[in-house]
Structure formats: structure tokens, C-alpha cells
Amino acid sequence: MLTFLTRRIVVSVLVLLAASFLVYMLAANSGDPLSALRTSTSPNKAAELHQRSLQLHLNIPAPVRYFYWLWGVIQGIGGHLDLGTSVTGQPVTSMLSSAVGVTVQLLTASFILAIIFGVLIGITSALRQYSGYDYSVTFLAFLFFSLPSFFVAVILKAYVGIAFNNFLQDPTIATWLLIGLPLLSGLIWQGILGGDARKRLLTFAIAAVVTFGVLFYISATHWLNNPSLGLPVILVLGLGLGLLVVVLTTGIENRKSLYTAVVVVAIGALAYFGFDAISRSLNVWSVLGLGVVAIGVGVLVGYLFAGPDRWLSARTGGITALLVGGLIVVDRFMQDWQLYATQVVSGRPIATVGAATPNLSDVTHSFWIQGLDSFTHLLLPTLSLMLISLAGYSRYSRANLLDVLNQDYIRTARAKGLNERTVIMRHAFRNALIPLTTVIAFDIGALVGGAIITETVFAWSGMGVLFNNALQQTDVNALMGYFIVTGVIIVIFNIVADLLYSVLDPRIRVAV
């Protein structure tokens, strides 16, 4: 293990060194950092050109300049990392630290959501292989996958951003949508749940009626301008989610687990009032802390109910508590929505650019308002990134699950009389996720590299924008800074992926 690690690291460092030299040469020869000055009519142009080329060390040949740069990196071992300055004189290290922060902020949500929804879609479409649902989902996934991101972004801004903001001026849902959307929802649900014609028809009817009811309520009460869930909705949704958790994890026949979920939802409903009272003084850390407390309470309830396996019930309790807590937090955000929409952004809440409303902290320090502001700014870029990367994950998990479902041990599991839930959730699903972990580990590495187009179009100055600007201005130091950060992270996560794989899959061992 240790030899493996050492070998990997030594090889990686050598690869990075060679690559950095190559990239440096390419970057240094990719353009003319003085081009803007050359067409100036200023009388002191010659002096300026001379000054700039001294400043950027253009008088030193590029291969020699590389070693100056490398020396700065090597000094980093002693804690004095010097990546030089950009063409505008900013230290590259500080540019990188802010850019990495912005990129992580932008990409994390879309990354997590893409994995969750990708896996969900992949699993459901694998279970309904070759059904209408499978085909439509595959079609859509590939459609989004193949759309260029700047196009998706512009379309999202036009419809989900600008048109939706216009719609909020009078949020009454048009009749054709009021009829069309329920039908669509019915179609989707009967596709997912499947079954014989009677069951499909029933599913269709229920889904359509529920959707219609919700839409009608939203439209009639102008809910979108002053949204809230309220205790009844939280109760109903909480019970629904609890039931789902029970069905998926332990099965409805495990009564103790079911009782745990119900009790946790009831406790959540009580906590709703308390939370509301103290919410104004909370910040992001105390909210996260309360989340941990909620999970603890859920686990405790499950533990006390015991049942055939007390830790199973505890797990049900924990997950349910987290979900109910999430509902309560969402409801709390909603309470401030109207205030935010009317006072902070003058009635046009969905933002098309930037990470935050400028000077928001001058207006308010409320965690809830600032959270809403982050949400409205993250919504469109997250959607556009998610739609595009969803396809990959859904295809991976679909293929993996199908692969696993055809394995002998699944047949054995079914033959020994395990119910379908246990077969799929415990024996198939978990194993299907193993190959996905490596993909995810690679993607985390790529994540830090940023999304050039999405960042540019949504005006987030993260790593992608830094890279793009550096390339356009022939800003070699900035470009190398980008390279060193992304390069090192990709190498690290490649190693991590290899190690993870061997940990998760006992059939694979790291060669010594």
C-alpha cells in the first residue's frame, strides 16, 4: 500500500513537472501580452512598451523564465509560495484563492444535485427498462447532454429568469398550462410506477388531480408572490417522506420503523413553532447545528422503538428527521420571500448574473434573506450545469444497475425468496454505485477547474473565467497558477479514486 502510494506520488510529481514546462512554453508563445499598447497613439508608447516588457520579464527567454516560476513554486514547500503576478500586477495566489472559492460555491450544488437526480433517474429507468419512461428519459438526457452550455444558459435566462419575473407581476397560471401540466405529470408518474393498465390509469388520475389541485391553489392565491408551506403541508409532506424512507430502507412490514417515522414527523411538527420563534437570530452554523440535533433526536426515537434491529429503526428516524427539518427550514425561507422580492430586488427575484445582489449586506444581515439571495442567484447556473451533467450520471447508474441485476447473486437472492425491495436496495443498488464513486472522484477534481462558459455567461469570476482571461491576455503566470491548482487536485483525486475503489470493492486490491 505504502509503496503503491509513494510510486504514484513520485510519478505524478514528475508528470506535473513535465506538463508544467510544456504548458508554460505553450502559454508564453500563445500571444503578445503587449498587443494593446502597440496600437496606442500615445506619445510615450516606446517608454511604456519598454517598461511593460521589463515588468513581465519579457526580456528573459521563456525557458529561463519557466525556472524563475518553478523556483517560486518550490519555495512553497517552505511556506513561501510565489506564483508571480498577473499582467495587471495582482499576486496570482490571491487571484486563485478567490477564484477557487467562487467556483466551489457555484459548482457544489449542481454537482450534488446532478448526482442525486442522475442516480434517481438512472435507477428508475433501469427498473423500467425499455418502457416509454425509459425511452423518454434517455431521449431527454441525451438532448440536454448535447446542448451547448451557453445556449442552455441563454434559454434559461430568457424563460426561467426574465419571463418568470415578468410572470410574477401577475402570477395567474394560464388555462392551457393549468390543464396541460397535470396531464404531463400524470403521464410521467404512470410511466415511473408502471404496472398493468388499471394501475397505470389510477396512477395517472391521482397524479393529474393532485397536480391540478396544487397548481390551481398556487394560481388562485398568488402563492408564488407570498409562498409558505404551513404546518398542515409540512405534516402531510413529512408523513409522505417518512413513508417513502420506510418503504425504501426497511419495508413497510417493519412496524417499529414505521412508528419511528410517524413519531419523528410529529416531533418535527412541534419543533416547527419553536424554530419559528428563534429563527431570526440564527445563522448558517446554528442552522446546521440544529440539523445535527434533529438527526440525533430521530436516531434516538428509532433506537428506543427498537424492533427487530434497533439500528435500522434509528436510521429511519435519522433520515426522516433530516427531511422534516429540511421542510421546516424551507418554510422559514419562504416566509421572507415576499420581503426579499419586493424590497431587495424590486419584484424581479430570479437573477441572471452574479453571485449576489451588490451591497446586500448594507441592507440586511439576515441569514434568511441572504440565503434567498444566494438561491435566486444560484438557481439558473445550477440548473444549466445540472441539466448538462445529469445525463452522464443517469447513464452510468442505469448501465451499472442493469449489469448488476443480471449477475448470478441477484438471481440467487431472488431464488431464496427475498422480496424485491431487499434485492434491489440492498443487493443491487449498493453494488451498482461502486463504479460511480470513481467517476465522482474524477469529477471533483475537474470541478475545481471551473466551468468556463457557465461562469462567463453568468458572470461568476471563478477558475474558468480566470483561465479564459489569462489565455486571452497571454497572462502566463495566471495561467500557470490555474494549471498548478487544477493539475495537483486532479492528480490527488485520481489517487483517491483508486484507493476508494479498492476499499469499496473487496474483489479489487491495490497492487503492492
Which residues lie near other proteins (CB under 8 A)? 31-32, 34-35, 38-48, 51-52, 54-55, 88-90, 94, 98, 102, 150, 154, 157-158, 161-162, 165, 346, 348, 350-356, 358-359, 362, 456-459, 461, 465
- Environment class of 170 (CB within 10 Å of its CB; exposed 0-12, middle 13-18, buried 19+): exposed
Mapping DSSP to helix (H, G, I), strand (E, B) and coil, where does residue 196 land?
coil
**Closer Cβ to other proteins, 42 or 175, answer by number:** 42
Question: What is the separation of C-alpha 366 from the centre of its chain, rounded to a whole number of angstroms?
Answer: 24
**Closer Cβ to other proteins, 32 or 253, answer by number:** 32
C-alpha cell at 287: 442552522
CA distance 89 to 211: 57
Q: Are 134 and 128 in contact (CB under 8 A)?
A: yes
- Environment class of 359 (CB within 10 Å of its CB; exposed 0-12, middle 13-18, buried 19+): exposed
Handedness of CA 63, 68, 74, 76 (dihedral sign): negative
- Shortest distance (Å) from residue 479 CB to other proteins: 17
- Shortest distance (Å) from residue 445 CB to other proteins: 24
- Shortest distance (Å) from residue 41 CB to other proteins: 5
**Closer Cβ to other proteins, 94 or 221, answer by number:** 94
- Shortest distance (Å) from residue 456 CB to other proteins: 5
C-alpha cell at 376: 435566486
- Shortest distance (Å) from residue 453 CB to other proteins: 9
- Shortest distance (Å) from residue 93 CB to other proteins: 13
**Closer Cβ to other proteins, 90 or 286, answer by number:** 90
Question: What is the separation of C-alpha 448 from the centre of its chain, rounded to a whole number of angstroms?
Answer: 13
**Closer Cβ to other proteins, 33 or 122, answer by number:** 33
CA atoms within 13 A on the CB side of 486: 24
**Closer Cβ to other proteins, 20 or 469, answer by number:** 469
Element (H, E) at 337: helix 337-339
For residue 429, count other CB atoms closer than 10 A to its CB.
19
- Shortest distance (Å) from residue 491 CB to other proteins: 28
- Shortest distance (Å) from residue 146 CB to other proteins: 21
Would you list the DSSP string of 200-238?
HHHHHHHHHHHHHHHHHHHHHTTGGGS---HHHHHHHHH
CA distance 351 to 357: 9
**Closer Cβ to other proteins, 182 or 464, answer by number:** 464
Only one residue has cell 415576499, namely 338
Only one residue has cell 447513464, namely 395
- Shortest distance (Å) from residue 158 CB to other proteins: 7
**Closer Cβ to other proteins, 366 or 474, answer by number:** 474
**Closer Cβ to other proteins, 254 or 456, answer by number:** 456
